[in-house]
Homo-oligomer: A and B are copies of this chain.
């Protein structure tokens, strides 16, 4: 057996995943706003942003700030015991806002569990965003009212759903598109790769939107791949782009390019949005066990909000009035979020049996009947569920 210390020259190199960064020089990363807030021009992507007015830029900024505020409030609610869990998206605001705001209402979104910023921009009711994390449901909202699927926890499974949905769009002869969100870790799952196979084979109108936030819980992206993730799309024959995921305009432009291709029958596109998970994986996680504080600092300097702030400053748009307006909005949203969370009615005991089937089922109906009888032997159904028993 080769131990780590003994090393093994080249053959052991593969397991030393933490050292070094991902190689691959294939795709350069598209960036339209520098961390310092400079707007750099780009002949290929600028045309896709022609309609982005100062007003829109301000509104993008507002979304970024509000989402960060939602994230913070939800984290606080979790700490206060109002939520069971929360997966912070701190640092990924630009990836989420830039992509979702490129969509039309009739486009359909398949998220993972972390796209709560996307849900906000899509108009999902604030309490509904928290419903799952409060443990009051497995799915928070009606997908058809916002054209956004419920969160997906099984890593990568939603990529196939998005592909199938896009097959449906194609069959319907519609010119809308689907977009699917997933992480860097997800790229290793068979499902994500099969989704690319199907999407490429049938040339469906779909955007694969990969937020490479550099971590899958404790695993750095290099465990999943030594080359850029964007290369993966290329390998399936899918046109692929690599963009600065902390740059809301770069993300928006790339997503528009992809959507345009989809609407014109050009098939799927793969976008790698290079970003960073600045918080823990979830509120249950402790990243100090596995990652360097320095890394966080490096990325703090590339913050997605700071650079838009700086850009607006340069443009003279970041007035006190504007700032106050944004803060007021964020405060209001946070208040509404909290109120929606705390005021959410608890499910009823027999909700356990609800919606398993859409038509009656003799096995389950009998179980529900028996359990109702059981509950009826207690005055208070809460008493019936203490692990240690009431008797």
Indicate if the CB atoms of B201 and A14 lie closer than 8 Å.
yes
A-to-B contact residues, CB < 8 Å: 1-2, 8-15, 17, 23-24, 170-173, 187-191, 193-194, 197, 200-205, 222-227, 231-237, 264-267
Smallest beta-carbon distance A155→chain B, Å:
12
Across the interface, A200 reaches (CB within 8 A) one of B12, B189, B226, B233, namely: B226
Q: Which residues of B contact A171 (CB under 8 A)?
A: 1-2
Task: Please give the count of copies of this chain that the complex contains.
Answer: 2
- Closest B residue to A190 using CB positions: B190
Q: Which residues of B contact A14 (CB under 8 A)?
A: 170, 201-204, 267
Main secondary structure of the interface of A (DSSP, over half): helix
Q: Which residues of B contact A222 (CB under 8 A)?
A: 201
Indicate if the CB atoms of B235 and A8 lie closer than 8 Å.
no
Given contacts A190-B194, A193-B193, contact A201 B173 (CB under 8 A): no
Given contacts A188-B194, A264-B10, contact A234 B235 (CB under 8 A): yes
Q: Which residues of B contact A205 (CB under 8 A)?
A: 11
Indicate if the CB atoms of A12 and B236 lie closer than 8 Å.
no
Given contacts A197-B225, A201-B17, A226-B200, contact A170 B8 (CB under 8 A): yes
Q: Which residues of B contact A266 (CB under 8 A)?
A: 10
Smallest beta-carbon distance A15→chain B, Å:
6
Smallest beta-carbon distance A16→chain B, Å:
10
Indicate if the CB atoms of B189 and A1 lie closer than 8 Å.
no
* Alpha-carbon distance between A197 and B232 when the two chains are bound, in angstroms: 10
30 A–B contacts from the bound complex (CB under 8 Å): A1-B171, A2-B170, A2-B171, A8-B173, A10-B264, A10-B265, A10-B266, A11-B170, A11-B173, A12-B265, A14-B201, A14-B204, A23-B237, A188-B194, A189-B194, A190-B190, A190-B194, A193-B193, A197-B224, A200-B225, A200-B227, A201-B223, A201-B225, A201-B226, A203-B226, A225-B237, A227-B236, A231-B235, A231-B236, A232-B236
Q: Which residues of B contact A194 (CB under 8 A)?
A: 188-190, 193
Smallest beta-carbon distance A153→chain B, Å:
18
Q: Which residues of B contact A172 (CB under 8 A)?
A: 1-2
